[in-house]
Chains A and B, each alone.
Chain A
Amino acid sequence: MLGLCIQAPELKDRNGLRFWEAKPQAWAQLPKTFLRHPNGTAIYDIESANDARFNMVKSELFGTLPNEVKQDICFPPQLPAGTVAAWATPRTARIVYGNEPPMHIPDIWESGIAYAEGYKTFYDSLPNSFKENVWFQSGKEEILNFGQGLPDRLIQKHFSVKSAMIECVSEGYPARVATTHKLRPDYPGNAYWFYRALLNMYRDAYGHKVKLLFHEYKLDDGVTDTEDAVLLLAQFLIVMSRLIYESDTIDGGAYQQGAGTGTVNLIGRNENQEWVTTWLTQLWIEFGHVLINAKFIETEQIERPDYVSIEAYEFRSGTKYLLFCNRGSDEYINLPGKSVTLFSNREMKKTNWNNVLPAKSCGVIKL
């Protein structure tokens, strides 16, 4: 789940520096398994394979990274399929056709069927070596199942794309679904059950062999680097680690706010046009280190407080850690005999607590 989306690599601070130039140490420290670029609605402005931003990411940004960091591509549908070959490098991992098709009906695609036809034409024209990495997008199940209050027209767009892509899979195209996803506080049920239900919805639609990629998970529009933002991201990462362990449905994910305008990004450009890191950055570094380097330890899921996400991990050295998020409770939770290290505070200072999970907190516990 530790991919990072890079939306606007050309952004500079007031000193003319890009984020990786202004914050080289923070950039190097951020755990990342892949970068997703290009991504977002910006893909529709790309006119040719020789795109300046793509080339910048390919040559400059990836030049700062070890070879094992891969690249996901959100493919601009207006480009010839052959562009994939022009863009491909040994780092190229997943290739997703288009960006959020339901949101772009009817301006990019007139309907879900038009998206499906475009996807099939794209897929069919690729050599087999690329076909294995191609993903499509569907209607979003959280919109279709929990979208009360949203305009009917929007829900119909999601339904249109979902229906067309179910048909597509029934014709034999691989069931590899990429989805954008908002980290919201108001999904029903505790996070674990909600996301299990969400995976089940995709399995219901596309079959039990479906693969799901959260290729753009993000905090909701207008969210700032508040306590809630940190807790929502922490909760999602913890729950995903369990679901990845439990099933082979989830292929991965990328955090949308990797670097960009606003302090909700891991490296964000603030209102003074300076690149800054935030407590989200600290969360990503601490959680990412465990999630990438330690293996998940199975523990029972039953009889846990609904409002706490907590999972265990073990490093090769034998050292064990818990990652926890006490998002929903205003109460302290007793954790006898454990020293709790928190970093969920605005000063980004680690705080030691004994025997309790403080209310509205997330952090790391070394066992």
Chain B
Amino acid sequence: MATKKIAAKLSIPKGIVAAMEVDTEVSANVTAQINKILPVNSTSGTRTITPPTTTQNGAWFGVVDSRNKFDTQNCVVNFSADNKLQTSSSPLTLSVEGQCAIFVWSGVPAAGWLRIV
């Protein structure tokens, strides 16, 4: 999926789009990469994506439903006590068709990632 297409889908400001890089689509459970959007194909089953680890303020990663299947085969972003989402240690389930999510590292391990989209 092209960067511009994803950006439009996410309503991401143009200033941020300039820095976006789209990763290779995956059909397996993988670890997302820093500063990339990961297209996830869940056509054949649910997927679990592990958030990357970082200490770099402003680092980000994203996940996008590249085959519009998250409503039937969910994508779980596996946040944990060691890698939190907005202070929560619970995994985040993406379950909306075509859903995208982008997370920015807060710089504070106790808070972890901030979901901005």
Contact A306–B14 (Cβ < 8 Å): no
With A145-B87, A188-B114 given, is the CB distance from A193 to B19 under 8 Å? no
Contact B116–A193 (Cβ < 8 Å): yes
Instruction: Report if A129 contacts B (CB, 8 A).
Output: no
Instruction: Report if B16 contacts A (CB, 8 A).
Output: yes
Contact A189–B19 (Cβ < 8 Å): no
Chain A nearest CB from B9 CB (Å) reads 12
- Chain B residues near A246: list those with CB within 8 A: 13
> Which range holds the interface residue count of chain B?
20 to 34
* Complex Cα spacing A197 to B103, Å: 9
Contact A299–B58 (Cβ < 8 Å): no
Instruction: Report if A92 contacts B (CB, 8 A).
Output: no
Q: Please tell me the number of chain A residues within 8 Å of chain B, measured between CB atoms.
A: 21
> Among A189, A193, A201, A298, which residue has its beta carbon within 8 angstroms of that of B14?
A298
- Chain A residues near B86: list those with CB within 8 A: 145-146, 197
Contact B58–A188 (Cβ < 8 Å): no
With A193-B58, A200-B115 given, is the CB distance from A188 to B15 under 8 Å? no
With A145-B87, A188-B111 given, is the CB distance from A247 to B11 under 8 Å? yes
Contact A190–B15 (Cβ < 8 Å): no
Using a CB–CB distance below 8 Å, which chain B residues touch chain A?
A: 11, 13-16, 18-19, 57-58, 86-88, 104-108, 110-111, 114-117
Using a CB–CB distance below 8 Å, which chain A residues touch chain B?
A: 145-146, 148, 188-190, 193-194, 196-197, 200-201, 246-247, 298-303, 306
Nearest 8 pairs of A and B residues by beta carbon: A188-B111, A189-B106, A197-B114, A188-B106, A300-B15, A196-B116, A188-B108, A301-B15
